[in-house]
Chains A and B, each alone.
Chain A
Amino acid sequence: MGDNKGEVEGANNFYDIQHRKYDVRKGLFAMNLQIVCAGIGGRGVLLASTIIIETAIKAGLKAMASDEYGMSQRGGSVVSLVKVGNFASPLVGRESANILLSFEESEFYRNLPFLKTGGVTLVNTSRQLLSANIERLLKKRRVQYFLLDADAIAMQKGMIQSSNMAMLGFFSAFDITPFSCDNIKETIRQKVKARLVEKNLEVFQAGYESAQSFQLIADSKNQ
């Protein structure tokens, strides 16, 4: 139901598990995109979703977000739903999200029901592989998934709290217009505290670059 909607225009290959090439997506335009950002408190989930909607709004698109967080506590679940395009509400239904950005592994599983058939997900995890059952499920649902050790990247740069930037960097490599590397970087410069900008951008860049190497691995595997 509604499969023809909320997808990236003209991007049939984008949803093909066999073609993990970013170039098929280059220059595409985000029409009616639904993104779920999921993680835990203190990991910058809300900052990431802010950067996504600000980037979209700067490009002249309509964008809204709805945040769900518990009490003022650290370590609780945080989910930010983002809708870009011609929507009235910021809420996302089951199996409706095009993209699931999981800033923490267990939140990936918890929020997987949001992701639609043919969706894309990026998971912050130290794992190399998902379990066989999950992999089978994702294949059946034609979901492209990317595992990224964003914590390790952030740690390497001495910025443990900035794994969200590594995630955004990787996401920018999808290059879904307007979420290009340059556009997101520009928003980061405006939204992140001045003294942290350079460090954050460094982590962002590392995330972006790890997407490039990921593509090579994925290509050699799949071709």
Chain B
Amino acid sequence: MREVMIGNFAIARGLVEAGLELAAAYPGTPSSEILPGIIEFKNREKLAIHAEWSTNERCALEVAFGGALAGRKAACMMKQVGLNVAFPPLLHGYAQPLKGGLVIVSCDDPGPQSSQTEQDTRLLAAHFGIPVFDPASPGEAGDIAYYAMKYSCEHKVPVIVRSTHRVSHARESIELFVPGSRKVKLDEGLKLKGKGRIGIVTSGMTCSITMDILDELNLGDKIGLYKVSRVFPLGTEVIGFVNQQEKTLVLEETDVALEALLDHGFKVLGRRSGHVPSAGELTYDNVRDIICRFANDHGISVPEFNADTSIEDALKEIQIAPRPPKLCAGCSHRASFYAMKSAFPDAVFPGDIGCYTLGISMGAVDTCLDMGGGVTFASGFYDTFAQDGTLKPILASVGDSTFFHACLTPLYDSVLKKRRFVLVIMDNSTTAMTGLQPTPQSGITADGTSTYSIKIENIIKGFGIEFLRIVDPYDIPLLLRTIKEAYEYLETESAGPAVIIARRECLLFSKIREEDTRDMARLVAECTGCKICIKTFDCPGSYFDEEKKKICIDEGLCIRCGMCYYACPTSDEGKSLKELKKVRNEKKRREGREDSKK
């Protein structure tokens, strides 16, 4: 039987067919669909597989590791930067002989497209001596996942399967086997013989692209091609292949794993020799240019690809609406950020990783380092300002899933050290950015069965944090007042961090309630064309019509939450918000005068 599926589902299928018994993961693009795939195939095949969303990647790896030590076939899944979080067990644990099997799937993000940094899982694996496989297509990813589990059980070591977003998110027809019956032979070796003068060594999706390009350029009989699937430990045949060539070009993503492992000095060309760009995705066009140049440099004449620039010339006159990533229309995070920014426009805004990183476009996120980094950054900023004897407003933000993932330790640290900042926990009851996975607060597990719900407010109270408020972010005036109140609290002698939970469910899984919707006609009717809401609120549900010189509602996107009324300086809501902002300022001024009298 065959079925069209994405690479991540193919990996899930391969693992399930290999007899997987325990799976743990933390969601992160492009790896998030593997665990749901495992649950899907587990249900279809009626197998007893324990599958869980762990609180973070370290938990996922340790759980899977424990299972493997105790004799289970276990796997854990994460994205490349997630592997960093799982470092402690990875670095120490790789030398523990396993009773069962352990496959770690880490998905790299060349570009990067949805990460803070590019990072090459293969390089880490090679560095620490962990076998690593690099599939070139969804079909091969499924085979390799199956093979890797067998390999791990046989050699009693953890094995890494490295996918990239182009493999994980590509779709093709995959053959399904009865569990245990798949026959996999590693697809590695000489693909094109060439003439022994120049050759290419490549792996992963870059290999597939290279094959298409050699075909397109009719170079198939002139350049040798060696495909690597197991990057570490590297086979000896590939070294023989490189020895036969005068020069070898290495094409790989994301860093220099093969290039470093081949180590043939000037014979091997790649990123280090400047023949391949040192960063960024190897797109089809990039690879075509690199191969053209490589061939022409070595006496094989190929017409270089010349882009028809008249396309760009003609497009110059077209105003293509830029589509930077934006929070959805009606997203409660937008309301939270608007209140934060209105309360203290000059505050420092340490941000975190999730949809809400997009608060950057509203000027309400200044930093985005790593999971949980916002709270610790706020701490560092506070300590710095405190040394200088000033109390600057610091408004940190973090989402609910990230809070559980990485914020507990930094937060109780801040309590102990009495650090004065406001933390707004944007609780939308889900892990929205990666596809609505449950959080420890959701009260459900990965496969939908119910479990305990750990409430964020109970954790905050348990830490002994005195200032805790739970606010609906759609009530912007209340949130604004609460933030001001929190800051007043921070000015008192014994203050530690102040926490505000801005709680409203994500619109992607819960539609707006009818009683929360507003009539949007007034916004358009009373619009004076000042564009302030476009600048400060940035909602995709409305746009400025240059002909009418008025704001317009995009009926397809707007959910009528009416939050934009607060961003309109001429509306009643906007005016009331302005009054709220003033109240505090006057109080401050009065106090200032009293201080000077003293």
Contacts and interface: CB of A to CB of B under 8 A. Distances in A.
Contact of B216 (A2, A77, A110, A117): A2
A76 B323 contact: yes
B282 to A, nearest CB: 10
A70 B318 CA distance: 23
Contacts of A129: none
Nearest to B114: A71
B4 A70 contact: no
Contacts of A91: 166, 205, 208-209, 212, 283-284
Contact of B171 (A62, A64, A74, A140): A64
A136 B317 CA distance: 13
User: Size band of the A side of the interface?
Assistant: 35 or more
B79 to A, nearest CB: 13
Of the listed residues A1, A54, A67, the one surrounded by the most CB atoms of chain B closer than 10 A to its CB is A1
Contacts of A72: 355, 432-436, 508
A93 B288 contact: yes
Contact of B328 (A73, A131, A133): A73
Interface in A115-138: 117, 131, 133-134, 136-137
A167 B454 CA distance: 47
A53 B321 contact: no
Interface in A51-103: 53-54, 57, 62-68, 70-77, 87-96
B327 A73 contact: yes
Given A64-B171, A113-B312, A134 B318 contact: yes
Contacts of A93: 213, 283-285, 288
B583 interface: no
B28 to A, nearest CB: 12
Contact of A106 (B321, B326, B327, B434): B321
A112 interface: yes
A1 B305 CA distance: 7
A66 B170 contact: yes
B296 to A, nearest CB: 14
Contacts of A215: none
Contact of A64 (B172, B308, B313, B329): B172
Contacts of A141: 308, 310-311
Contacts of B43: none
Contacts of B556: 42, 160
A73 B326 contact: yes
A40 B216 contact: no
Given A66-B166, A72-B436, A74-B557, A137 B314 contact: yes
B212 to A, nearest CB: 5
Of the listed residues B136, B213, B318, B327, the one surrounded by the most CB atoms of chain A closer than 10 A to its CB is B318
B189 interface: no
A76 B329 CA distance: 11
Contacts of B327: 73
A94 B114 contact: no
A220 to B, nearest CB: 27
A108 B436 CA distance: 30
A74 B328 contact: yes
B540 interface: yes
A73 B211 CA distance: 34
A58 to B, nearest CB: 10
B557 A75 contact: yes
B1 interface: no
B462 interface: no
Contact of A88 (B113, B211, B307, B436): B211
A88 B433 contact: no
Of the listed residues B2, B312, B323, B436, the one surrounded by the most CB atoms of chain A closer than 10 A to its CB is B323
A110 B318 CA distance: 10
A50 B3 CA distance: 12
Nearest to B315: A109
B323 A40 contact: yes
A112 B173 contact: no
Given A74-B557, A109-B320, A134-B318, A90 B311 contact: no
A63 B307 contact: no
A37 to B, nearest CB: 12
A75 B213 CA distance: 33
Given A70-B114, A106-B321, A140-B310, A87 B212 contact: yes
B405 interface: no
A26 interface: no
B308 A95 contact: yes
Given A53-B4, A72-B435, A89 B318 contact: no
B189 to A, nearest CB: 15
Contacts of A106: 320-321, 323
Contacts of B329: 74-75
Interface string B88-130: 0000000000000000000000000110000000000000000
Contacts of B279: none
A66 B207 CA distance: 15
B310 A137 contact: yes
Contacts of B436: 72
A75 B328 contact: yes
Nearest to A86: B215
B433 A92 contact: no
Nearest to B314: A137
Interface string B1-44: 01010000000000000000000000001000000000000000
A195 B27 CA distance: 32
Contacts of A117: 308
B303 interface: yes
14 contacts: A64-B137, A72-B508, A73-B355, A75-B323, A88-B136, A89-B137, A91-B212, A91-B284, A93-B288, A95-B311, A106-B323, A112-B311, A131-B318, A137-B313
